[in-house]
Structure 1
C-alpha cells in the first residue's frame, strides 16, 4: 500500500479531481466542435477568397491592389487608427467615430418618431388610411435625393447628413411597428380591459411587449440603412467621416486606402447589426430576428 492510497485526505482530493478533469475535457470537446462548425467555414472561405484576390491582382496589368499591397501601403492607418495631424488629416478611427456620431443622432430620432407613428397607424384606422399612402410614396425616394433639400433647409452639412439618416431609417421602423401593433391578439386587449389598464399601462405592458419582435426587425433594418446612408452622404458633404475619407482617397488615387476603408465600413456595419439584434433578442426573449 502506497503512502498516497493510505492517506484518506489524498484519496478524497484525487477523487474530486477526476470529475473536474472529465468536465473540462467535455468543455474542450464542445468548444472544438463549435469552432469547427462556426469558425472554420468562414476562415476557409475567406482564405480562399484572399488567395484568389492576391493571384488575380498580382498579374501584369491588374488595376486593383493585391491584399499584400493594401497592407503594405496602409500599414500606418492600420496600426495608428487614432492619429491626429490637424484638420481633416486624422486616423481611420476618428473617421469612423465621426460617422457613428451622425448615425447615433439620426437613428435615435428615427426610432422615437418611427415607433410613435407606427403605433399611431397601427391603432387608428383613420391614421393608417391617411398616412400610409404618403409614407409608401416617400419611402421609395432614394436617400441621397433628400440631401439637396436638407442642405437648402439647414444650410449646414452636419445636420443635413443627420436628416438623411433620419429619413432613411424611419420607414422600416414605421412599417414594422404598425404591422406589429395591428397583429396584437384581441385576447391581449380584452385582458387590458378587464384589468382596467390606463393608456400608459396598456402601451407599456400590452402593446410594446407584443409588438417588440416586429419593432426590432424594423430597428435592425433601419440601422443597416442608416450606415449605408451616412457613408454615401459624407462623400458629398465633405468634412470628417468615413464616406468623405473614401472620396478623398479616390481623388488622390489611393486605392489601397479605399480598400481598407471598405473593410472598416463592412465590419462596423456588421457590428451595429449584431448589437441591435442582440438587444432585440434580450428584450423579446429570442423571438425577434
Structure 2
C-alpha cells in the first residue's frame, strides 16, 4: 500500500501595498505648497513692505528655538500660546458638540421639532460669532469664558444641521427592521439611527472645528488674552510682520493637521 504525502498548502499571497496613491497625494501637496510659495515670493517682490522668505525663516527659527518659555501672561513661547488657544477651542467645541448632537437627533427624528427649531437655527446661524462676544461678557463677566462661549456658538450650527440631515435620511427599510425586532427607543437610537448618521455627524464636527479654529484668532484679538490670536495682534502692533506671517503659517499648519485627523475619522466611520 502506497501512502501519498499531501502537498503543503500554498501560502496565500501577501496583499500588495499600494504606495502610489499616498505618493500622488504627497506630490500634489508639495506642488500646491510650491505654488503658494511662488505667489508669495512674487507678492513680496512687488511689495517691499512684505517680509521676505529669509526674514520669515529667521522669525520661525527664533520662535521655535525656545517655544515653551513662560515669563508672564504677555510673554510666552509660541507653543505655550498655541496650547492656550487649543484649550479654548476644545472647551467650546466639546460643549457645542454635547448640545448640537442631541439637538440634531431630535430635529431629524421628530418632524414637528424640526419645523419649530429650523427657523431659529437659520436665524442665528448667519450671525458672526464675534457679535456674540458682548453677550458673553454680559453673561460671564470675564473675557476668558466669553471667548469659550463664542467657540461654543460657532460649533453648534454645522453639527446641528449635519446631524439632523443624517438622522432624517435613515432609510425606511432600516426602520421596518427595527420595528420587526421590536427595538426599544434606546436600542433604535444606538443600533440604527446613530450608526447610520455617524458619517454626517463627523462631517459636521469637522466643519465646526475648522470654523472654531478660525474664530479663535479674532476672539483672542478682542479679548486681549494670551493665545495665538493675541500674538498676531501684538506682533502687528509692534510692526513685526515676519512674526505675523510666521504665526499665520503656524495657525494654518495646525488647522490642516486637525482637518486631516477628522478626515481619517470620517473614512473610519463611513459605510460607503
Q: In the superposition, relative to structure 1, how do residues 276 and 43 fare at CA in structure 2: closer, same or farther (>3 Å)?
A: closer
In our comparison, the structure showing a higher alpha carbon Rg is 1
CA drift of 1:203 comes to 0.7
**Equivalent-residue separation in structure 2 for 1:212 and 1:36 (angstroms):** 30
Corresponding residue number in structure 1 for 2:94:
108
CA drift of 1:115 comes to 0.7
SS at match of 1:81: coil
Q: Deviations over 1:128-156 (max 9, x none)?
A: 11111111100010110011111111111
Unaligned 5+ segments in structure 1 are 1-22
- Correspondences of 1:64-79 after superposition (within 5 Å): 64-79=50-65
Query: CA RMSD of the aligned region, Å?
Result: 2.0
In the alignment, is the contact (CA less than 8 A) between 2:163 and 2:204 conserved in 1?
A: yes
Q: Of 70, 74, 79, which residue of structure 2 is paired with 1:84?
A: 70
Q: In the superposition, relative to structure 1, how do residues 181 and 34 fare at CA in structure 2: closer, same or farther (>3 Å)?
A: closer
Tell me which protein shows more helix as a share of its residues: 1
TM-score of the superposed pair, with normalisation by structure 2: 0.88
Q: In the superposition, relative to structure 1, how do residues 177 and 52 fare at CA in structure 2: closer, same or farther (>3 Å)?
A: closer
Does 2:82 correspond to 1:96? yes
Q: In the superposition, relative to structure 1, how do residues 269 and 194 fare at CA in structure 2: closer, same or farther (>3 Å)?
A: same
Q: Of 133, 136, 146, which residue of structure 2 is paired with 1:160?
A: 146
Structure 1 residue ranges (4+ consecutive) displaced by more than 4 angstroms after TM superposition: 33-36
Q: Of 174, 182, 191, which residue of structure 2 is paired with 1:205?
A: 191
CA drift of 1:73 comes to 3.5
In the alignment, is the contact (CA less than 8 A) between 1:177 and 1:211 conserved in 2?
A: yes
In the alignment, is the contact (CA less than 8 A) between 1:122 and 1:177 conserved in 2?
A: yes
Corresponding residue number in structure 1 for 2:40:
53
**Equivalent-residue separation in structure 2 for 1:96 and 1:158 (angstroms):** 15
Unaligned 5+ segments in structure 2 are 1-13
Aligned length: 258
Q: Which moved more, 1:142-151 or 1:74-83?
A: 74-83
In the alignment, is the contact (CA less than 8 A) between 1:150 and 1:160 conserved in 2?
A: yes
